[in-house]
Structure 1
Amino acid sequence: MKKAFRLIILVAVVAAVGGIAYYVLSQQEAQNGRLAASGTIEATEIEVSAQTAARITSVAVSEGDRVKKGQMLVRLDYALLADQVKQAKAGISAARAALKATRDDGTNADIAAAKAQLRQANVAYQMAAVQLSYAAIKSPQAGIVLSVPVSAGENATPGTIVAVVGDLRTVRVDVFVPEAQLGLVKIGQAAKVGVDSYPGEDFDGKVTRIASQAEFTPGNIETKEQRVKQVFRTTVTLVNLGQKLKPGMPADVAFE
């Protein structure tokens, strides 16, 4: 019983010392005008979606692939959409023939109606041609494929997300600055960012956004005491030279 009691006291003392050390470190950083925080590397994500209804015939990329702007991601059923264009062309031919016949022996009203039908046929053709162009779904920017939530053989409809592409030219880290230390951070302030994958190497960043309203620390933060603190979400943006930094990497931020 005494051993257990001593163990409890020892754990309590260690926890208290650890808490004091964290508090002192935070206070020293605040007094020295420096602040450190941790977050995760994030990239600007673009959801690429289908713009027409058709069956997916092929998926040209996989998660993790690097893509160029304009590179093919997914192809839809080209044959079906091409057939719709063909039918629209036939509609134009029929409308032209009808107009010609009406001009020979029709009234002015008949001619006006035939002209309206030809205009409608042209519009239908243009719409079908646009739909055909949507069969090839391409990347709107260079980057890395973060996810491909579809497979060949599935049916796509307008709005179906077929791929998510991350722009790795610039990345960001969101950290949460305690209200008491918010005065140590400002827009445009320089920061050094380190990641475990490149020990000893610092990446230059700067503060690009500070939330205008406080929030509770997100629930994925380790301790309950931290989660109930009022904090301000602060974004540090980095030019990702060489694209070494990848989404999901844990990052440590030191504000200068």
Structure 2
Amino acid sequence: MPGWLREWIGQGPKLPKVLVGLVVLALLAGGGYLAWRLINADQLPPGFAMANGRIEAERVDVATKLAGRLEEVLVKEGDTVKKGEVVARMDTAELKAQLADAQATVRQAERQLDQANALLAQRESELTLAQKEYERSKKLSEKGFTSKETVDQRHSAQATAEAAVNSAHAQIDLSKATIESAKAKVDRIQTFIDDSVLVAPRAGRIQYRLALPGEVLAAGGKVLTLLDVTDVYMTVFLPTSEAGRVAIGAEARIIFDAIPQYVVPASVSFVATEAQFTPKYVETKTEREKLMFRVKVQLPSEILEKYARWVKTGVPGVAYIRLDPDAPWPASLESKLP
């Protein structure tokens, strides 16, 4: 009999022995029932496995592509963001100056192209004149009205004009190449400016803010850590005898310690190929039985989307995995959501 009960019986008013016996019997029965519940709570029918774990979610770091000064951070820890939403900006004053210089180079190259085209028209006109003079001098020479030397001079002038035309064409090609190079530089700098606007790579919740406005970050410097609340799972560890029977996609159930009245459906998405917590090589069957394999139990995305604001990492619970696909789920593990 508990000491407090013995003391109460001894100090309190005298009670009939029958009543005292009924009180003691009720207390013992209640304690026995509680003990039975605790002993049998973790018992499962054949074809099932269970393990403790904690909720985890895929984490994505939002980082800078280039070194620079962080200008502003637009979100706080705990904020929910959409894919593509702007979350931070880098200082782009220097990049904008480089962009203006590159754009000026493009305009300069375009003016040079205009000049090259005008020069080509001039050279083609000079070539036409030189060709006509050469033809006239040839006819006059054939009739004896002009000297052979004059014909040679007109032929040389024609060749010079042709060379000038070819040079003008080359100048045009060079100007076009210069324009393409300058425009490529503009595009590259514009890409750097665009990359200075940091966006959420996927929808989720901001977990950590790792930098503050005004800080100078290196290339790849982390600014924020994002949790993808649609990619949530529980990591558990199962022994060899159970892990070897787990199929990818096997049905599972999760009961969280914080809300034990609900049963969340899930499925197995990963089983490790190497064991944990044991030596790399084992020789005996007893040692092999001690091997523990990591298993990921994935929560359905449609449930996560519906209850996104309730999703939290680190919440402990118990995962129940069906090893035998033909085994019926116990009534206590039927899906039950709010």
Range of TM-score over shorter length: 0.7 to 0.9
Q: Do 2:251 and 2:266's aligned partners in 1 also have CA atoms closer than 8 Å?
A: yes
User: After TM superposition, what 4+ stretches of structure 1 lie above 4 angstroms from structure 2?
Assistant: none
How far did residue 105 of structure 1 move?
4.1
Q: Does 1:97 align with 2:108?
A: no
SS of match in other structure, 1:56: strand
Question: What amino acid is the match of 2:228?
Answer: D
SS of match in other structure, 1:212: strand
Question: What amino acid is the match of 1:74?
Answer: A
For residue 154 of structure 1, the aligned residue among 202, 208, 215 is 215
Q: Does 1:115 align with 2:180?
A: no
- 2:283 is aligned to none
How far did residue 48 of structure 1 move?
1.8
Name the count of aligned residue pairs: 222
For residue 212 of structure 1, the aligned residue among 273, 287, 306 is 273
Cα distance between partner residues in 1 of 2:78 and 2:249: 32
Q: Percent identity?
A: 29
How far did residue 183 of structure 1 move?
4.0
For residue 245 of structure 1, the aligned residue among 311, 317, 322 is 311
Cα distance between partner residues in 2 of 1:148 and 1:92: 40
SS of match in other structure, 2:274: coil
- 2:99 is aligned to 85
How far did residue 169 of structure 1 move?
1.6
How far did residue 158 of structure 1 move?
3.3
Q: Which is worse superposed, 229-238 or 96-105?
A: 96-105
TM norm structure 2: 0.60
Q: Which is worse superposed, 108-117 or 127-136?
A: 108-117
> CA-atom RMSD, angstroms?
2.5
Q: Do 1:33 and 1:184's aligned partners in 2 also have CA atoms closer than 8 Å?
A: no
Q: Do 1:191 and 1:253's aligned partners in 2 also have CA atoms closer than 8 Å?
A: yes
Q: Do 1:58 and 1:75's aligned partners in 2 also have CA atoms closer than 8 Å?
A: yes
How is 1:58-207 mapped onto 2 (pairs within 5 angstroms)? 58-105=72-119, 107=167, 108-207=169-268
Cα distance between partner residues in 2 of 1:166 and 1:238: 15
Question: What amino acid is the match of 2:205?
Answer: I
Q: Does 1:230 align with 2:291?
A: yes
How far did residue 80 of structure 1 move?
2.9
Q: Which runs of 5+ in 1 are unaligned?
A: 1-23, 218-227
How far did residue 33 of structure 1 move?
2.3
Cα distance between partner residues in 2 of 1:50 and 1:154: 12
For residues 36-86 of structure 1, the C-alpha deviation after alignment (integer angstroms, 9 at most, x for no partner) is: 101111112222222233311111112221112222211111333322222
Question: What amino acid is the match of 2:183?
Answer: N
Cα distance between partner residues in 2 of 1:229 and 1:158: 45
Q: Does 1:255 align with 2:321?
A: yes
Cα distance between partner residues in 1 of 2:257 and 2:86: 34
For residues 168-206 of structure 1, the C-alpha deviation after alignment (integer angstroms, 9 at most, x for no partner) is: 123111111111222442222221112223232121111
Cα distance between partner residues in 2 of 1:202 and 1:75: 42
Cα distance between partner residues in 2 of 1:98 and 1:157: 39
Q: Do 1:85 and 1:132's aligned partners in 2 also have CA atoms closer than 8 Å?
A: no
How far did residue 145 of structure 1 move?
0.8
How far did residue 28 of structure 1 move?
5.7
SS of match in other structure, 1:176: strand
Q: Which is worse superposed, 230-239 or 102-111?
A: 102-111
TM norm structure 1: 0.77
Question: What amino acid is the match of 2:271?
Answer: I
Cα distance between partner residues in 2 of 1:245 and 1:72: 23
How far did residue 153 of structure 1 move?
0.9
Question: What amino acid is the match of 2:241?
Answer: A
Question: What amino acid is the match of 1:41?
Answer: I
Structure with the larger strand share: 1
SS of match in other structure, 2:183: helix
Query: Which of 1 and 2 has greater Rg?
Result: 2
